[in-house]
Structure 1
Amino acid sequence: MENEVLLDNFETLVKTHSSRELKEFLDDQLITDIAELIYEVPEQAAVIMTHLTLSRAVAAFRILEFPAQEDIIRAVPPAKTAELLNELPPDDRTAFLGELPSQAVTELIKLLDPQERKVTLSLLGYPENSVGRIMTPDYIAAKAHWTVAQVLQHIRMYGRDSETIDVIYVIDDEGRLLDDFRIREFLLVPPDTVVNTLMDDRFVALKVNDEQEEAIQVFRLENRVALPVVDDKGVMLGIVTIDDMLWIANEEHTEDIQKIGGTEALDEPYLDMPIFRLIKKRVGWLVILFLGEMLTATVMTYFEDEIAKAVVLALFVPLIISSGGNSGSQASTLIIQAMALGEITTRDWWRVMRREIFSGLVLGSALGLIGFVRIQVWNQFFHTYGEHNILIGIVLGISLIGVVLWGTLSGSMLPLILKRAGADPATSSAPFVATLVDVTGLLIYFSVAYMFLNGILL
């Protein structure tokens, strides 16, 4: 309801062509409401941005999705574009430019002030998924020989331009990081206290070429609002703040969920992506999975004679396939999520395998027992499976134990193997694991059947 009122008031002011009243109206709204308004009336985004004060326009621009940001840059006058880009924090500006085609980046870089251009080009020079891409050089640094009073005076002079003043960093004359302090540690000691008397040399820093996904784990473990970024020599280059990490974590989570679902990661919101690009993202995996499932027909053909002699075996093929695929999908999803949260690493493969062997045996035994009981009950009432119902039940039960055990092992080990090989564990999606287990599950099923029923039904 509030959004409808906001939209109605905005449209009324636009129709009256009252620029002053429109500006006052927009400046009275929350930044999140401004963003929602831009999403509601994207054709008016340029009007909205040009009537906001620069600081509020930047604040709104920062929280918009990339497609909306791109539309705004295309729609507003060049002068407004230059203002926005120069006022954006370096990390947000780099994140936006990093999504654009190189030709567009070249043109927009020209609009930046010399100092901002230098910083932006420096950040863009780091690998796409590295910490260097999301760091900002705007931070407060102090020297070890300063007093607390000098540090506080330095903050008053330069803190306005810093990304955050919650954490103060101590560096030496060469720029190497020596320690970090929360601001409260300076506020709670006498002003004449020398900084080096407070130092304990215990700090956590990110390397500039670290993967962003690894940085997420460090933030989660250290519970920090900001972390310093250093090069291989320990020289401090910038900081990464928690808001950037939350954004990256959300993108990583979304990308993993899409991959787990058996599709390539979407680089745009679902409704904004052209339909043929969306199809292209999905068709590759579907073709691969389809070709994989065709091996199921090959296995069935190989055991065609056995199926012809004992048609009853074919009745349980869907049951075997679904049980193996479901157990594999469960295991792969759990392991991928645990790896994303930093709960396990490739070094834990043996512990994971032992747990999954036990889990697979217990789960398979449960399903096998249910399958055996079902055959006996059905045969008791309907005589569906004939005089060899006990053997058929045993074949189904043992096959389910083997198939579920194999599914859990495949689903749990494949993500770890891919991670060890340097690939994305999410690539071992649930559909991929299910397809793999479908084919091998049939081999297990018919092999067990041949073992128990050879000379009887086969």
Structure 2
Amino acid sequence: MRPSPIAVHPETDQEEVARMVARYDLAALPVVDDAGRMLGVVTVDDVMDVLVEEGAEDVLKFGAVAQGQADETYFTTPITASVRRRIVWLLFLFVAGSITANVLRLFEAELEQVVALSFFIPLLIGTGGNTGAQTVSTLIRAMALNEVRLRDVWRVLARELLVGVILGFLLAIIAFGRAFLEVPMASLAITVALSVMAICIWANIIGAMVPMAARRFGIDPALISAPLITTLVDASGLAIYLLIAKALLGL
């Protein structure tokens, strides 16, 4: 007999119920009222349905797509509904993406002086986006499992800063070699290497801050984090690269 059984109330969030069943390895979880009277049970089968539903919802949110009806499938969803759920975020990201074009216009003179700088823009933007996406994915999973809470924000930032430094250093070594092989110019290779390191660190910090800030303001981190990270890191990473180039190459 368990004198103090683990139980939940009717208003307990279904994700929290699923976490409790997994954490305590339960076959069923009693549902009780405020007086402790039993109202029913949640079984492992119920939890599996919840996990599938929540997992599908999070995947859609990560792609900035609104959730449809529970019984909808890919082919039964009307085309108009699919467009409506995607267009809002795409418009927002389209407008935000114009920042990248503005950054390029701002440094147009520098790019004209050293055309080779443009060769490495896709590499740097891609590296920043991938680094930020990894951080966001890792952190959102930890937040969903209650491994990370809002009070852990400084620990998270410190941890991701250290991870960013290590990753950035390792990638910078590879970036230096690749840049030097493509354009045998030491100053340019150093610029690319330092930019890779700085962008990795910055992407990790942004990737940690955005989900925590979203949770702080009551927004689902899975909905906003991944698309916003890509847009922010693209524009800011490009600015970091060109500022470093301007300083090192004397442009």
**Aligned counterparts of 2:22 and 2:97: Cα–Cα separation in 1:** 40
**Aligned residue in 2 for 1:57:** none
Q: Which has the larger radius of gyration?
A: 1
| Residues 320 and 441, structure 1, Cα contact 8 Å, conserved in 2 | yes
Q: Deviations over 1:340-383 (max 9, x none)?
A: 23433333333332221122111111221112112223345xxx
Name structure 1 gaps, 5 residues minimum: 1-180, 182-199, 381-388
Q: CA deviation at 1:429?
A: 4.1
Alignment of 1:247 onto 2:43: no
Deviation at 1:238, TM superposition (A): 2.9
Which amino acid in the other structure matches residue 300 of structure 1? Answer: L
Q: CA RMSD in A?
A: 1.9
Corresponding letter in the other structure for 1:375: A
Going from structure 1 to structure 2, the CA distance change for 1:378 and 1:298 (only over 3 Å counts) comes to closer
**Candidates 201, 214, 234, aligned match of 2:3:** 201
- Counterparts of 1:400 and 1:329, CA distance in 2: 16
- Answering whether residue 22 of structure 2 is matched by residue 220 of structure 1, we say yes
Q: Distance in 2 between matches of 1:233 and 1:413?
A: 41
**Structure 1 residues 240-289: Cα deviation after superposition (integer angstroms, max 9, x where no partner):** 22221111111001110111123222322111111111111112222122
Equivalent residue for 1:401, pick from 197, 205, 208: 197
Q: Is the aligned partner of 1:270 residue 2:107?
A: no
Highest relative contact order (Cα 8 Å, sep 6+), 1 or 2? Answer: 2
Match of 2:217 among 421, 431, 440: 421
Equivalent in the alignment of 2:138 = 334
- Kindly provide the amino acid, as one letter, of the partner of residue 200 in structure 2: V
> What secondary structure does 1:443 align onto?
helix
Which position in structure 2 is the counterpart of 1:302? 106
Q: Deviation string for 1:82-116 (max 9, x for gaps)? A: xxxxxxxxxxxxxxxxxxxxxxxxxxxxxxxxxxx
TM-aligned CA distance change 1:447 to 1:430, over 3 Å: same
Q: Any idea what SS the aligned residue of 2:30 has?
A: strand
Counterpart of 1:206 in 2: which secondary structure?
coil
- Scaled by the length of structure 1, the TM-score of the pair is 0.51
Moved over 6 A (4+): none
Q: Distance in 2 between matches of 1:356 and 1:241?
A: 38
Letter in 2 for 1:313: L
C-alpha distance in 1 between matches for 2:17 and 2:53: 14
User: How much has 1:306 moved relative to structure 2?
Assistant: 1.8
Matched-pair contact (CA < 8 Å) for 1:262–1:432 = no
When the two structures are aligned, how many residues end up with a matched partner? Answer: 249
Q: Structure 2: 5+ residue runs without aligned partners? A: none
Structure 2-normalised TM-score?
A: 0.91
Is the Cα contact below 8 Å between 1:260 and 1:427 reproduced in 2? yes
SS in structure 1 at match of 2:75: helix
Secondary structure in 2 aligned to 1:270? coil
